[in-house]
């Protein structure tokens, strides 16, 4: 195992300490409890927006804490759900009395623990709404999931919904917009290589030198099929076609196109992937209104990529463009 | 070779096409000539600031083209210098009559070709000043270099000098600030794994399962020594100590601290590295005035990191903080 770490069991807490040291202007971090909070939380008269999940997907979610995106994030151990007490602490830290939105990726442990935390918060008088993302078209049920997995749409949803929450919109409207983004978005990913969970010390799965996994999950869960390596043009077809079909995209529609790296894939390759994606969309007369290219929802050092498309309308464009100031995404400020 | 590419010989041009498709609001790209230009270039009454070098280091340099940073970038083939005609085209594209600054990393081919381009530009009546970065303390001479190699300081220099150029400062002052940043900065890197140049198809060098290379160059050039794997705390000591000593940092001084990923290392590890770096600097009573954590000067998919420190003063802080709007770095706008 080749990693820039100290003890495997200290990875998450040491990375959190590093985040706090690097971004003291943006964040407060409870390293022990593993909660990252926007520095000026709770923001008065604003819905608190939080998310969380296993570590190993950085910058998601901690790198998205700040003005115009998340008010807090609670990272669990690597590829492991955060615990209810941790989620409760994050919920209380961002509660200004206007309610709190939980953004939950559809993995059994995450859903269960966020539900328990919401009940605990309700018992303390905090109104919580929850939205579950399930945008991965690759497989119906998976190792950790009933239904579809939550992946790339989560990043875009956190940005759009966080921008809307800044306007002081009420909880039910913020939750409704979150559901809308999830409904209008689909994703699919692939892996060229596996990844190694630090405490495991060996790769999560084995892939031959000439193989890739199409439809991979962000924890290395199996996808649709294992196939021989292929040129980028064919790989992007394999990912984009199911996404476009499942979303029912039609000529004349506009999308937010997100090409995401899995952690071990360099930017030069992601731009090649984006070039293929824009060619496919142009062929279907779907226009790209906004785009994002980079490694934002990763699987440790896995090499590979995912493609996410969200159908845009004026409302989504408006809050995507709204100012954001977090460690990983920043514009307009 | 596992990469998201089509034909190896098309990698650079297809990535450039992808960049143009993703950032039409920021960039013009001559895909054939391999020149990336700020959309509104030449900017009147402003020194044009350009850089270039081999591809494979993305986002450097093309991802730094835009307001407040570079006016143009000319990427060569992977790990190969751009040619004089290409650099000349970039120089002419950004020339508003106020002169052009060439920022050149200290590699023999780059230095030679930028020199030839500067002579060609002078023959066409364009005043060019050149600044060579040579911040890598690892080795004195190397595979492609006489003297020290230019690495991480180049990124920070392009940001600071680009911010200053926006004020309309004259060429000699812009060049002087560039020389100052280079003089006040030092870097050192390491690799956990090699990388594979697409047209080569095999790793540039071999590293054992239990080995790492300390002092690696950004093209996989040999470093100071090959040693057994070690915890992050020890690795960061091996990199930071030579940087701090060579820069002669003293208690009470302030630095810009840059932890850079080599392309295949995930962000969670870079924050662990940053945590160790801030601990070391605190121990020496050196304060971190500004920081940057991420993969900005890469070596394809190499796993590893580099550490860059620049001694700060009010002038450098002012132009580091100035607005920047490029594909890879953006704030204040």
Whether residue B138 is found in the same domain as residue B164: yes
pLDDT band at residue B141 using 50, 70 and 90 as cut-offs? confident
Whole domain around residue A197: which residue ranges?
185-315
**Is pLDDT of B109 > 90?**
yes
Longest dimension (CA), chain B: 56
Asked if the structure places residue A69 within a domain, the reply is yes
pLDDT band at residue A312 using 50, 70 and 90 as cut-offs? very high
Whether residue A238 is found in the same domain as residue A106: no
Which chain A positions have a beta carbon within 8 Å of B4's beta carbon?
A: 192, 232, 235, 265, 269-270, 272-273, 304-305
Which chain B positions have a beta carbon within 8 Å of A295's beta carbon?
A: 266-267, 295
Nearest residue to B4 (alpha-carbon basis) of A258, A267, A220, A280: A267
Whether residue A166 is found in the same domain as residue A218: no
Asked if the structure places residue B78 within a domain, the reply is yes
Per the CB < 8 Å rule, is A264 touching B291? no
Per the CB < 8 Å rule, is B265 touching A5? no
Per the CB < 8 Å rule, is A4 touching B209? no
Whether residue A196 is found in the same domain as residue A287: yes
Whether residue A152 is found in the same domain as residue A300: no
Q: Residue A17: which of B3, B275, B327 has the nearest Cβ?
A: B275
- Give the three-class secondary structure for A58: coil
pLDDT of residue A15: 98
Task: Count the residues in chain A.
Answer: 333
Q: Which backbone phi and psi does B149 adopt, to 5 degrees?
A: -80, 150
d(CA B202, CA B226): 20
Per the CB < 8 Å rule, is A232 touching B5? yes
CB-based contacts of A296, cutoff 8 Å, min separation 6: A59, A60, A63, A152, A155, A258, A260, A328, A329
Per the CB < 8 Å rule, is B303 touching A2? yes
Catalytic residue, chosen from A57, A61, A102, A202, is A57
Catalytic residue, chosen from B23, B57, B61, B102, is B57
Percentage, residues of chain B above pLDDT 70: 100
Whether residue A131 is found in the same domain as residue A194: no
Whether residue B167 is found in the same domain as residue B204: no
Stated as kind and residue range, the H or E segment containing A266 is none
Residue A225 Cα, gap to closest chain B Cα (Å): 17
Beta strands in chain B (DSSP E): 27-30, 35-38, 48-55, 72-78, 100-105, 128-133, 185-191, 211-214, 225-228, 254-261, 287-294, 304-311, 324-325, 330-331
Asked if the structure places residue B5 within a domain, the reply is no
Rg (CA), chain B: 19
**Residues B159 and B320 sit within 8 Å (Cβ to Cβ):** yes
Whether residue A225 is found in the same domain as residue A134: no
pLDDT of residue A146: 85
The token pair that represents B304 in the structure block: 């590893």
**Is pLDDT of A87 > 80?**
yes
**What is the residue-wise DSSP string for B162-179?**
HHHHTTT--HHHHHHHHH
Q: Tell me if residue B57 is catalytic.
A: yes
- Searching chain B, which residue's CA lies closest to the CA of residue A282? B21
- Mean pLDDT of the region B178-185: 98
Whether residue B225 is found in the same domain as residue B193: yes
Per the CB < 8 Å rule, is A6 touching B233? yes
- Mean pLDDT of the region A146-166: 97
d(CA A164, CA B95): 42
Asked if the structure places residue B1 within a domain, the reply is no
pLDDT of residue A143: 74
Asked if the structure places residue B4 within a domain, the reply is no
DSSP category for residue B294: E
Q: Tell me if residue B23 is catalytic.
A: no
Longest dimension (CA), chain A: 56
Say whether pTM exceeds 0.95.
yes
**Lowest-pLDDT range, A133-142, A161-170, A204-213?**
A133-142
Residue B328 Cα, gap to closest chain A Cα (Å): 9
pLDDT of residue B91: 98
Asked if the structure places residue B198 within a domain, the reply is yes
CATH number at A42 reads 3.40.50.10440
pLDDT of residue A141: 78
pLDDT band at residue B230 using 50, 70 and 90 as cut-offs? very high
pLDDT band at residue A102 using 50, 70 and 90 as cut-offs? very high
- Searching chain A, which residue's CA lies closest to the CA of residue B12? A268
Percentage, residues of chain A above pLDDT 70: 100
Whether residue A174 is found in the same domain as residue A197: no
The token pair that represents A314 in the structure block: 């004026």
In this structure, the strands spanning A100-105 and A48-55 are parallel
Whether residue A234 is found in the same domain as residue A140: no
Stated as kind and residue range, the H or E segment containing A85 is helix A84-94
DSSP category for residue B117: H
Stated as kind and residue range, the H or E segment containing A21 is helix A11-22
Using one digit for the tens of pLDDT, what is the confidence trace for B147-178? 999 999 999 999 999 999 999 999 999 999 99
**Long-range contacts of B139-142, Cβ-Cβ distance < 8 Å, separation of 24 or more:** B139/B215, B139/B217, B139/B221, B139/B222, B139/B223, B139/B224, B142/B217, B142/B221, B142/B222
Task: Count the residues in chain B.
Answer: 333
d(CA A90, CA A34): 9
Q: Residue A265: which of B15, B293, B301 has the nearest Cβ?
A: B301
d(CA B62, CA B177): 22
pLDDT band at residue B72 using 50, 70 and 90 as cut-offs? very high
Q: Which residue matches tokens 């998205």? A: A64
CATH number at A302 reads 3.30.1180.20
- The rounded mean pLDDT for chain B is 97
Asked if the structure places residue B152 within a domain, the reply is yes
d(CA B129, CA B5): 37
**Is pLDDT of A210 > 80?**
yes
**Is pLDDT of B143 > 80?**
no
Whether residue B36 is found in the same domain as residue B167: yes
**Is pLDDT of A142 > 80?**
no
**Is pLDDT of A144 > 80?**
no
Asked if the structure places residue A333 within a domain, the reply is no
- Mean pLDDT of the region A289-306: 98
The number of domains in chain B is 2
Nearest residue to A295 (alpha-carbon basis) of B203, B301, B76: B301
């Amino acid at each position: 195992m080749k990693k820039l770490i100290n003890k495997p069991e200290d990875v998450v807490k040491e990375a959190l300490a590093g985040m706090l040291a690097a971004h003291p202007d943006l964040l407060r971090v409870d390293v022990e409890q593993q909660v990252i909070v926007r520095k000026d939380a709770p923001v008065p008269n604003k819905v608190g927006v939080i998310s969380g999940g296993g570590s190993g997907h950085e910058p998601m979610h901690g790198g998205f804490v700040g003005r115009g995106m998340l008010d807090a994030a609670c990272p669990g151990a690597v590829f492991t759900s955060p615990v209810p007490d941790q989620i409760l602490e994050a919920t209380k830290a961002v509660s200004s009395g206007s309610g709190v939105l939980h953004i939950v990726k559809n993995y059994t442990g995450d859903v269960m623990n966020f539900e328990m935390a919401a009940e605990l918060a309700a018992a303390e008088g905090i109104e919580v709404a929850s939205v579950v993302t399930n945008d991965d078209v690759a497989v119906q049920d998976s190792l950790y999931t009933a239904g579809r997995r939550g992946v790339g749409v989560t990043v875009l949803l956190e940005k759009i919904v966080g921008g809307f929450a800044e306007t002081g919109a009420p909880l039910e409207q913020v939750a409704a917009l979150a559901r809308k983004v999830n409904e209008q978005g689909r994703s699919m990913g692939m892996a060229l290589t596996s990844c190694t969970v630090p405490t495991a010390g060996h790769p999560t799965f084995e892939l031959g030198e000439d193989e890739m996994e199409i439809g991979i999950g962000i924890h290395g869960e199996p996808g649709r099929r294992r196939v021989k390596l292929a040129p980028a043009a064919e790989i992007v077809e394999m990912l984009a076609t199911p996404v476009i079909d499942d979303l029912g995209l039609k000529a004349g529609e506009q999308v937010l196109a997100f090409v995401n790296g899995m952690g071990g894939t360099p930017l030069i390759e992601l731009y090649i992937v984006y070039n293929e994606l824009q060619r496919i969309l142009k062929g279907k007369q779907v226009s790209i209104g906004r785009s994002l290219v980079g490694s934002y929802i990763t699987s440790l050092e896995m090499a590979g990529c995912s493609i996410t498309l969200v159908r845009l309308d004026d409302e989504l464009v408006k809050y995507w463009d709204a100012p954001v100031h977090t460690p990983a995404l920043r514009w307009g400020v």
